[in-house]
């Protein structure tokens, strides 16, 4: 296994990042491809995906928290070559992750009519949203297992294996989605349900292969004894993962409420907002591998008490990601109409989407700075710091601004886009102050 606590930081960062980066490009193309296919059916299908996706973001908060906690925990164990404890925590982490995912899915399934209606889904859009989610829920249960294995592979620095799994998942989706959505070769058209079915098939196949991989490598033993809950280990896992879950839950709760404000402006605006969030997600997912890779190196470095190396790692990661965000900002500002037209030809939606890019894209660079710094805090095990930052930025800043700015007659809908940009700026400013403070370096696990 590569020793990330010594050697060239940029080399380690690129070694860890490029397979993850490429994998996330594939995953985001899958997300964009899904909207592209459903956009051929109707604007209501795009709106339904946006509403269901907003709810599913809460699930990503849960799995993302577990993901960050596992990386922080296992990175230090690996740097100390403590493989005995590593093997003990894997089954316990799977228990925590699956149980958390199950509780989330059960709650949303039971109260789906209220939740989706609250977010503005009505009539045909409500039915389409339910049709999609009621199949996607089984994918989410599989993903709760999948993400544990992905975090372990990242801590080990085995990014190339991750890439193979991701590409396999995306290929299955690309092949099955048009068949299930539009029907072909005797298979009936399932429309929006077909998108969810294609995703479910892909994640089940990848999960089976991944479980076999970890069994073969000796990190996972499938026996009842190993999966008996160990309250001591679970408590240590939760100490890291619960604050990390809070990061996403706070920001996603903000977007959940924000969608309610968006819904007042109709389905066309919901569709444009949904496209805008997917584009933001695309930018973030390009930076996420860099941030996570930096977090892995930070975790390994702190396992050896190398504080200065951890700080240099963060600064190096910021420089790398800034090159990407700056390029995307330029493309978004010069070719906004072309980008939005990739998703829909509806003129009203396109005009809203252009405004989104003109207002939000200029802030991508500072958004990237915040993403890298908070990822490094997570890698250090200081998962509580990004939680506080997100609460201030997305809950205390974004929501009130979106509501009041959208009420101003000459700003209207654009006030929501302005609120998103301003909240990212505040997040970056606070993150920089927290980084310079240095308390994150002293976190003990």
Annotate 373-428 with DSSP letters as a single string: HHHHHHHTT-THHHHHHHIIIIIIIIHHHHHHHTTSTTTTTHHHHHHHHHHHHHHH
Q: What is d(CA 202, CA 27) in angstroms, rounded to the nearest whole number? A: 12
Could you tell me the pLDDT band of residue 231, with boundaries at 50, 70 and 90? confident
Q: pLDDT at position 445, please? A: 65
Among 52-56, 386-390, 399-403, the least confident range: 52-56
Q: Is residue 418 part of a domain?
A: yes
Please state the rounded mean pLDDT for residues 369-380: 89
Report whether pLDDT(67) > 70: yes
* Residue 1 domain-assigned (yes or no): no
CA-based R_g, the chain, Å: 21
Confidence band for 296, pLDDT divided at 50, 70 and 90: confident
Closest CA to 115 of 190, 59, 33: 59
Q: Reduced to 3 states, what is the DSSP secondary structure of residue 305? A: coil
Q: What number of other Cβ atoms are within 10 A of residue 113's Cβ?
A: 12
215 alpha carbon, distance to own chain's centre = 27
Measuring CA to CA, which residue among 311, 303, 386 is closest to residue 75?
A: 303
Does residue 305 fall inside a structural domain?
A: yes
Q: Which residues contact 340 (CB under 8 A, 6 or more apart)?
A: 272, 275, 349, 350, 353, 354, 357
4 belongs to a structural domain: no
Q: Is this model's pTM higher than 0.85 or not?
A: no
Q: Tally the domains of the chain.
A: 1
238 domain-assigned: yes
Task: Read off the pLDDT band of 330 (50, 70, 90).
Answer: very high
Query: What's the start-to-end Cα distance of the chain, in Å?
Result: 22
Q: What is the DSSP string of 11-58?
A: HHHHHHHHHHHHHHHHHHHHHHHHHHHHHTT-HHHHHHHHHHHHHHHH
- Asked if residue 2 is part of any domain, the answer here is no
- Domain of 347, in residue numbers: 9-442
Residue 380 has pLDDT above 90, yes or no: no
**Has residue 222 got a pLDDT over 80?**
no
Let me know if residue 249 belongs to a domain: yes
pLDDT value at residue 344: 79
Predicted confidence (pLDDT) at residue 366 exceeds the cutoff of 90: yes
């Amino acid at each position: 296994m590569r020793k990330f606590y010594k050697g060239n930081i940029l080399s380690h960062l690129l070694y860890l990042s490029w397979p993850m980066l490429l994998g996330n490009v594939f995953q985001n193309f899958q997300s964009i491809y899904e909207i592209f296919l459903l956009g051929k059916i109707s604007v209501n299908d795009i709106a339904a995906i946006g509403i269901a996706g907003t709810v599913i973001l809460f699930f990503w908060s849960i799995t993302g928290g577990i993901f960050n906690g596992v990386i922080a925990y296992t990175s230090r164990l690996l740097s100390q070559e403590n493989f005995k404890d590593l093997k003990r925590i894997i089954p316990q982490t799977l228990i925590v992750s699956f149980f958390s995912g199950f509780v989330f899915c059960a709650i949303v399934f039971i109260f789906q009519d209220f939740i989706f209606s609250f977010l503005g889904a009505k009539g045909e859009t409500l039915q389409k949203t339910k049709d999609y989610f009621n199949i996607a829920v089984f994918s989410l249960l599989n993903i709760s297992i999948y993400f544990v294995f992905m975090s372990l592979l990242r801590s080990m620095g085995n990014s190339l294996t991750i890439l193979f799994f991701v590409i396999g998942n995306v290929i299955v989706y690309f092949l099955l989605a048009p068949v299930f959505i539009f029907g072909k070769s005797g298979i009936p058209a399932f429309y929006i349900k077909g998108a969810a079915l294609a995703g479910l098939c892909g994640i089940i196949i990848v999960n089976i292969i991944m479980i076999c991989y970890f069994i073969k490598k000796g990190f996972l033993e499938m026996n009842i004894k190993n999966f008996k809950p160990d309250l001591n280990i679970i408590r240590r896992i939760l100490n890291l993962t619960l604050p990390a879950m809070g990061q996403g839950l706070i920001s996603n709760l903000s977007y959940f409420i924000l969608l309610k404000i968006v819904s007042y402006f109709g389905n066309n605006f919901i569709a444009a907002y949904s496209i805008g969030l997917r584009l933001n997600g695309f930018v973030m997912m390009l930076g996420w591998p860099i941030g996570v890779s930096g977090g892995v190196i930070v975790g390994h470095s702190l396992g050896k008490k190398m504080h200065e190396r951890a700080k240099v790692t963060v600064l190096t990661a910021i420089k790398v990601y800034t090159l990407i965000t700056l390029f995307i900002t330029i493309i978004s500002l010069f070719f906004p109409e072309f980008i939005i037209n990739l998703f829909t030809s509806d003129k009203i939606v396109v005009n809203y989407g252009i405004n989104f890019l003109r207002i939000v894209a200029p802030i991508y660079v500072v958004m990237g700075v915040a993403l890298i710094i908070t990822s490094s805090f997570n890698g250090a095990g200081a998962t509580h710091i990004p939680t506080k930052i997100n609460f201030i930025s997305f809950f205390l800043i974004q929501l009130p601004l979106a509501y009041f700015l959208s009420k101003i007659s000459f700003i209207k809908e654009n006030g929501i886009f302005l609120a998103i940009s301003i909240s990212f700026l505040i997040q970056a400013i606070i993150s920089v102050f927290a980084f310079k403070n240095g308390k994150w370096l002293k976190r003990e696990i």
